[in-house]
């Protein structure tokens, strides 16, 4: 039936109309995983037994004539840095290879309340540090559009699973672009909500002041539905925002007339791939043709954002990851004494990139360097934020590329971390300022790799993002394009 | 060479909230190992802290009681260091914007009042406890961690280096303890470690103002320990300086068994704590209204109470100071005098027989079998002349044993004072008749003999005769 190819809202209707059962759907996904997972490697853990039990329960509910909510019975996957009670949560790290949390993340609790079928846990760059999923301690994930390419990252497993048809929807986390960039690389919709819109409780911290959980889906409609489930205040997360959550599906409206779109010139950086620039400019032209007003804006501190980001994120990471010491949980490598045990455990169980960032962050916070690095980065953060505040006085949304290039070949960038970091130039300012950003497919490169358009909104204005993205999506066919891998089999 | 000692204290006090600072676990002392824990205080991956608002309230209370300015914008920071009793390998504390700053505390030493400046008060979480396999850290091959104490709220009260020696340090610590007890924010049980001090000490040549190099002594948790460690340290530093040496800036620990301080680590080995703002908590914003509401609810503090007892009850400064040492004592005193009992007598009894009995049995005043009400009744019986002070001691002992009302005891044991002139006269006459020798001695000018005669009279009356009347009647008969 190739159910794995459909978006959640279509499958939801099919379930309601009894065209399919949740068990059929789940089994279809299992078959699909068996077919492609060997090549894609999107999963770290699969939870088939629990998934099937959940599907059966949903079918019984439908049989009893009860109403089901949107994700009920629809299979998805959760990034493996989001805690799942009783199910391993590894962060793609040897350090937590066998860690089983005794609690659920708040988003998982919220999902459980609406009974989706969770197929398992998705691969990522170790502790979400990276942009290609090559930093997973277990194996890299492959892009279903071209298996030689990276799926992006760090939520590469979450994106690749949805693109490959081995999950219908997924959750990722975004610290500097980790939802939007893999969504862009895999031809999907990815939303990084406003900082505080979605609870971080149970998300294993990389950089606490930047991390945010969000959905990766096949279209904007699914994105709005998943947001309805996961958004909202959580008393267990002091940084979550206590504000009413709108019904995001009400923003699924084809209308951008009069919408003021800002085009920050600093985001169209030198060295940007020509295909990317063409696709993004084409998308902007389309929005203009549909009645939006496009103005150029200046965000002068953009060029400093990457440096500030890599100081703040690593500083927080150096502290957040200090707890992995082998004492009471996680991996332990025995040593001659406690300090030796700390050293051996952390040297052997963290990967290269994680260690690089811990060292960078430790350095940035050290006595004698603190003012010049960490404090200076905080000042830049304020300036970047002010850039956004000023821009949003004039415009409703900003439209930019997601990344300077489409997905690149696995192994192409691993030897040059600086080049890799610069890939984040269009996404990190959004995290630094806490505003929401969405990635929506807007074209393809000459060699057939997807390209994403980034729409950035005012704080807590995910609605306008969804409306703009939906209008653009419905005017195009990009979201109906299917990864070659998904077609071939 | 003569030196001045410069001492500053960092006092850590556990707050007596029901739950921990960032999670709902109980703060109760003891308990089976690792039973008062949850994912949050264990620092498991992905969990987040949520501030216990009671902690902020208690810290503000302490700040106000110690005359501090409350920072209306305050925040938490992470203090990063690796230690196995610290599950996150950072302590959530406060760095540059503590809850309270710029306070002071007046202490009294040798009748002199001295103002000690308080730099700051900040909130933080306590760490866990290492349980070593051996008897000391040195003879242990391994250790286990008990996380029950992890996340118990603390305030750290940092003083300026205004103290000049062991005596002042002790007086300061006692006063801090007293105030924290008064405002009811800490159990202040030093033996359980919920009040402890890090003591900084340095010497400088008398008359100079530049601070010398200091040594810090960690975790001193009794008044005696603070005094002994300081005394030792002053002697050690004096010897080094006298020999032309230099003091090494370092952290030292007090070895109780050896009676000496021992080096833990030098400045070079000290941690760089790499403070950063705690990104998982939002800043603490306090309004003037909140601060004023807390101020209004503060109880009368020891200094004010002492002044009141001197002015209203006519107590001496010394007595008033002792009575107000703890809030419990002061409240006991107030409860007793509220019954209109003679204030000075109440104070005397509290500092005398009551204190003696309490100390003897290791009881606190709240546990006293003689309640304030009963002590007031006893004092009343004395004031009214129903019993003598001497008999009162017997009555008090009986009250201590039984908790009974003094009137009941006096009645049952027939201890009512004899004030009937005829009755006393009878006894006086019989004693004079039975003791011709002392009577003669007295008449011959040996005034001391009268004491013997009074004693005999009291003995015959079983102590019940009114001593003043006995004296008067006896003298009237002999002179």
3 state SS of A340: helix
For tokens 């949805």, the residue is A162
In this predicted model, what pLDDT tens digit does every residue of B53-108 receive, in sequence order? 999 999 999 999 999 999 999 999 999 999 999 999 999 999 999 999 999 999 98
Q: Cα separation of A134 and A123, whole Å?
A: 10
Within its chain, how far is the Cα of A393 from the centroid? 28
In this predicted model, what pLDDT tens digit does every residue of B115-159 receive, in sequence order? 999 999 999 999 999 988 877 777 778 889 999 999 999 999 999
Q: Mean pLDDT of all residues in chain A?
A: 96
Select from B268, B270, B274, B283 the residue whose CB has the most chain A CBs within 10 Å, as the one to mutate to test that interface. B274
Contact A319 B84 (CB under 8 A): no
**Looking at CA atoms only, how far is residue B296 from chain A in angstroms?**
29
For tokens 């306590």, the residue is B126
pLDDT tops 60 at residue A175: yes
Q: Cα separation of B141 and B260, whole Å?
A: 25
How many CB atoms are closer than 10 A to CB A2?
12
Element (H, E) at B10: strand B3-14
Q: Using an 8 Å CB-CB cutoff, list residues of chain B that contact chain A.
A: 39, 42-51, 78, 80, 82, 84, 87-90, 143, 145, 147, 272, 274-276, 279-282
Q: What is the pLDDT of residue B139?
A: 74
Q: What is the pLDDT of residue A146?
A: 97
In this predicted model, what pLDDT tens digit does every residue of A104-120 receive, in sequence order? 999 999 999 998 899 99
Instruction: Average the pLDDT over each of A313-322, B322-331, B367-376, B456-465 and give the range with the smallest value.
Output: B456-465
User: In the predicted model, what is the mean pLDDT of residues A68-91?
Assistant: 97
Contact A202 B145 (CB under 8 A): no
Contact A208 B279 (CB under 8 A): yes
User: In the predicted model, what is the mean pLDDT of residues A442-449?
Assistant: 96
Contact A322 B87 (CB under 8 A): no
| Contact present, B195 and B180 (Cβ < 8 Å) | yes
Q: Cα separation of A45 and B234, whole Å?
A: 63
pLDDT tops 60 at residue A313: yes
Q: Using an 8 Å CB-CB cutoff, list residues of chain A that contact chain B.
A: 81-83, 89, 91, 96, 99, 101-103, 105, 200-205, 207-209, 235-239, 315-316, 318-319, 322-323, 325, 327-329, 338-339, 342, 362, 365-367, 370, 374
Contact A238 B48 (CB under 8 A): yes
Residue among A83, A318, A365 minimizing CB distance to B45: A83
Percentage of chain B modeled with pLDDT above 90: 57
User: In the predicted model, what is the mean pLDDT of residues B338-362?
Assistant: 88
pLDDT tops 90 at residue B265: no
> What number is the ipTM of this complex?
0.95
- Which residue among the candidates A115, A154, A155, A318 is catalytic per the annotation? A154
Element (H, E) at B92: strand B90-93
Q: State the Cα angle at A402 between A264 and A147, rounded to 5°.
A: 160
pLDDT-based confidence at residue B421 (cuts at 50, 70, 90): confident
Question: Which H, E and C letters describe A243-254, residue by residue?
Answer: CCCCCHHHHCCC
Q: Cα separation of A72 and A69, whole Å?
A: 5
In this predicted model, what pLDDT tens digit does every residue of A7-40 receive, in sequence order? 999 999 999 999 999 999 999 999 999 999 999 9
Q: What is the pLDDT of residue A351?
A: 98
pLDDT tops 80 at residue B376: yes
State pTM to two decimals: 0.90
Contact A325 B279 (CB under 8 A): no
pLDDT tops 70 at residue A488: no
Would you state the structure tokens that stand for residue A179, as one six-digit string? 């939802």
In this predicted model, what pLDDT tens digit does every residue of A344-402 receive, in sequence order? 999 999 999 999 999 999 999 999 899 999 999 999 999 999 999 999 999 999 999 99
Q: Cα separation of A91 and A84, whole Å?
A: 12
Contact A203 B275 (CB under 8 A): no
Bridge partners (DSSP) of residue A353 are none
Q: What is the pLDDT of residue A489?
A: 47
Q: What is the pLDDT of residue A487?
A: 66
| Contact present, A84 and A72 (Cβ < 8 Å) | no
Residue among B78, B84, B275 minimizing CB distance to A327: B84
Contact B46 A89 (CB under 8 A): yes
Q: What is the pLDDT of residue B423?
A: 82
pLDDT tops 90 at residue B451: no
Q: Mean pLDDT of all residues in chain B?
A: 90
Nearest alpha-carbon partner for B238 in B247, B229, B226: B247
* B37 contacts in chain A (CB < 8 Å): none
Report the residue of chain B nearest A314, measured CA to CA: B276
Cα B368 to Cα A107, B328, B360, B374: the distances in Å are 55, 11, 12, 11
Residue among B43, B50, B87 minimizing CB distance to A235: B50
pLDDT tops 80 at residue A322: yes
How would you label A363-380 residue by residue, b for 16+ Cβ within 10 Å and e otherwise? bbbeeebbeebbebbbeb
- Which residue among the candidates A115, A158, A178, A318 is catalytic per the annotation? A178
Select from B21, B41, B48 the residue whose CB has the most chain A CBs within 10 Å, as the one to mutate to test that interface. B48
DSSP-H helix ranges across A296-375: 302-320, 338-349, 352-365
Close Cβ partners of B393 (under 8 Å, ≥ 6 residues apart): B353
Contact A329 B145 (CB under 8 A): no
Percentage of chain B modeled with pLDDT above 70: 100
Domains and CATH numbers, chain B: 3-291 (no CATH), 300-412 (no CATH), 421-478 (1.10.10.410)
Residue among B39, B90, B143 minimizing CB distance to A322: B90
A318 is catalytic: no
Nearest alpha-carbon partner for B280 in A195, A95, A259, A86: A195
In this predicted model, what pLDDT tens digit does every residue of A260-304 receive, in sequence order? 999 999 998 777 899 999 999 999 999 999 999 999 999 999 999
Nearest alpha-carbon partner for A204 in A113, A317, A329, A344: A317
DSSP assignment letter at B143: E
Residue among B44, B80, B84 minimizing CB distance to A322: B80
| Contact present, A426 and A463 (Cβ < 8 Å) | no
pLDDT tops 90 at residue A470: yes
pLDDT tops 70 at residue A1: no
| Contact present, B99 and B121 (Cβ < 8 Å) | yes
A178 is catalytic: yes
Nearest alpha-carbon partner for B151 in B197, B196, B87: B87
Domains and CATH numbers, chain A: 8-262+393-480 (3.90.1300.10)
3 state SS of B220: strand
3 state SS of A437: strand
In this predicted model, what pLDDT tens digit does every residue of A227-263 receive, in sequence order? 999 999 999 999 999 999 999 999 999 999 999 999 9
Would you state the structure tokens that stand for residue A450, as one six-digit string? 């997807």
Would you state the structure tokens that stand for residue A122, as one six-digit string? 């998705």
How many CB atoms are closer than 10 A to CB A300?
14
**Looking at CA atoms only, how far is residue B68 from chain A in angstroms?**
27
């Amino acid at each position: 039936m190739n159910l794995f190819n459909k978006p959640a809202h279509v499958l939801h209707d099919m379930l309601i109309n009894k065209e399919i059962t949740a068990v059929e759907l789940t089994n279809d996904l299992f078959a699909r995983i068996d077919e492609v997972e060997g090549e894609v490697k999107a999963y770290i853990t699969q939870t088939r037994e629990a998934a099937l039990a959940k599907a059966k329960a949903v079918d019984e509910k439908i049989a009893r004539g009860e109403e089901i909510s949107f994700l009920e019975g629809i299979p998805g996957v959760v990034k493996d840095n989001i805690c799942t009670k009783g199910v391993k949560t590894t962060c793609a790290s040897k350090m937590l290879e066998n860690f089983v949390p005794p609690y659920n993340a708040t988003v998982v609790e919220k999902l459980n309340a609406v009974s989706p079928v969770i197929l398992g846990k998705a691969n990522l760059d170790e502790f979400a540090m990276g942009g290609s999923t090559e930093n997973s301690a277990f194996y890299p994930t492959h892009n279903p559009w071209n298996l030689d390419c990276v799926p992006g990252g760090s939520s590469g497993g979450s994106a690749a699973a949805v693109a490959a048809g081995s999950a219908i929807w997924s959750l990722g986390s975004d610290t500097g672009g980790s939802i939007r960039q893999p969504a862009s690389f895999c031809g999907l919709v990815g939303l990084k909500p406003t900082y505080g819109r979605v609870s971080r409780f149970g998300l294993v911290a990389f950089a606490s002041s930047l991390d945010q959980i969000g959905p990766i889906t096949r279209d904007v409609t699914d994105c709005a539905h998943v947001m309805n489930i996961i958004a909202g205040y959580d008393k267990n997360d002091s940084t979550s925002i206590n504000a009413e959550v709108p019904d995001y599906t009400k923003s699924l409206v084809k209308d951008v007339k009069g919408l003021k779109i800002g085009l920050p010139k600093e985001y169209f950086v030198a060295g940007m791939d020509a295909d990317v620039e063409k696709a993004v400019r084409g998308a902007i032209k389309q929005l203009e043709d549909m009645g939006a007003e496009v103005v150029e804006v200046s965000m002068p501190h953009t060029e400093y954002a990457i440096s500030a980001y890599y100081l703040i994120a690593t500083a927080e990471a150096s502290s957040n990851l200090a707890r992995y010491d082998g004492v009471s949980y996680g991996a332990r490598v025995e040593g001659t004494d406690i300090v030796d045990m700390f050293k051996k455990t952390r040297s052997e169980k963290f990967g290269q990139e994680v260690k690089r960032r811990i060292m960078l962050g430790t350095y940035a916070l050290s006595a004698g360097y603190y003012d010049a690095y960490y404090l200076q980065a905080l000042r830049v953060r304020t300036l970047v934020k002010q850039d956004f505040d000023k821009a949003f006085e004039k415009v409703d949304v900003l439209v930019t590329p997601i990344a300077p290039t489409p997905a690149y070949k696995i192994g192409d960038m691993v030897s040059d971390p600086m080049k890799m970091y610069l890939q984040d130039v269009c996404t990190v300012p959004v995290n630094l300022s806490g505003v929401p950003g969405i990635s929506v497919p807007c074209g393809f490169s000459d060699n057939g790799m997807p390209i994403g358009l980034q729409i950035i909104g005012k704080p807590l204005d995910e609605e306008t993002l969804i409306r703009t993205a939906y209008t653009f999506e419905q005017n195009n066919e990009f979201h109906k394009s299917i990864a070659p891998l998904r077609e071939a089999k | 060479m003569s030196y001045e000692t410069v001492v500053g204290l960092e006092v850590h006090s556990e707050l007596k909230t029901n739950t921990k600072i960032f999670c709902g676990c109980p703060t109760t002392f003891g308990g089976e190992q690792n039973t008062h824990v949850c994912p949050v205080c264990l620092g498991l991956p992905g969990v987040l802290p949520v501030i216990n608002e009671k902690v902020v309230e208690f810290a503000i209370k302490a700040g106000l009681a110690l005359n501090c300015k409350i920072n209306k914008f305050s925040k938490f920071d992470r203090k990063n260091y690796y230690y196995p009793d610290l599950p996150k390998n950072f302590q959530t504390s406060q760095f540059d914007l503590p809850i309270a700053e710029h306070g002071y505390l007046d202490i009294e030493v040798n009748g002199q009042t001295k103002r000690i400046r308080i730099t700051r008060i900040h909130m933080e979480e306590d760490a866990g406890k290492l349980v070593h396999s051996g008897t000391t850290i040195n003879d242990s091959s391994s250790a286990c961690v008990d996380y029950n104490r992890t996340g118990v709220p603390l305030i750290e009260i940092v003083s300026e280096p205004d103290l000049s020696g062991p005596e002042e340090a002790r007086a300061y610590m006692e006063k801090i303890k007293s105030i924290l007890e008064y405002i009811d924010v800490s159990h202040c049980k030093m033996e359980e470690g919920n009040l402890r001090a890090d003591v900084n000490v340095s010497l400088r040549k008398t008359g100079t103002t530049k601070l010398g190099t200091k040594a810090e002594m960690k975790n001193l948790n009794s008044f005696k320990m603070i005094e002994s460690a300081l005394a030792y340290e002053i002697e050690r530093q004096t010897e080094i300086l006298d020999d032309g040496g230099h003091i090494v800036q370092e952290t030292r620990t007090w070895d109780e068994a050896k009676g000496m301080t021992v080096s833990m680590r030098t400045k070079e080995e000290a941690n760089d704590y790499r403070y950063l703002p705690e990104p998982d908590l939002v800043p603490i914003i306090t309004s003037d209204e909140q601060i004023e509401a807390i101020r209004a609810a503060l109880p009368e503090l020891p200094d004010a109470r002492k002044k009141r007892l001197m002015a209203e009850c006519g107590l001496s400064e010394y007595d008033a100071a002792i009575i107000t040492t703890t809030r419990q004592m002061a409240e006991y005193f107030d409860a007793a005098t509220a019954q209109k009992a003679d204030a000075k007598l109440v104070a005397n009894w509290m500092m005398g027989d009551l204190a003696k009995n309490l100390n003897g049995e290791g009881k606190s005043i709240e546990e006293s079998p003689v309640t304030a009400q009963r002590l007031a009744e006893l004092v009343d019986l004395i004031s009214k002349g129903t019993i003598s002070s001497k008999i009162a001691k017997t009555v008090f002992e009986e009250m201590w044993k039984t908790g009974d009302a003094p009137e009941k005891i006096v009645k049952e044991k027939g201890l009512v004072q004899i004030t009937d002139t005829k009755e006393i006269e009878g006894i006086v006459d019989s004693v004079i008749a039975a003791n011709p020798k002392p009577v003669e001695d007295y008449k011959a000018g040996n005034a001391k003999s009268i004491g013997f005669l009074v004693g005999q009279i009291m003995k015959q009356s079983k102590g019940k005769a009114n001593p003043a009347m006995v004296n008067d009647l006896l003298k009237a008969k002999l002179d």
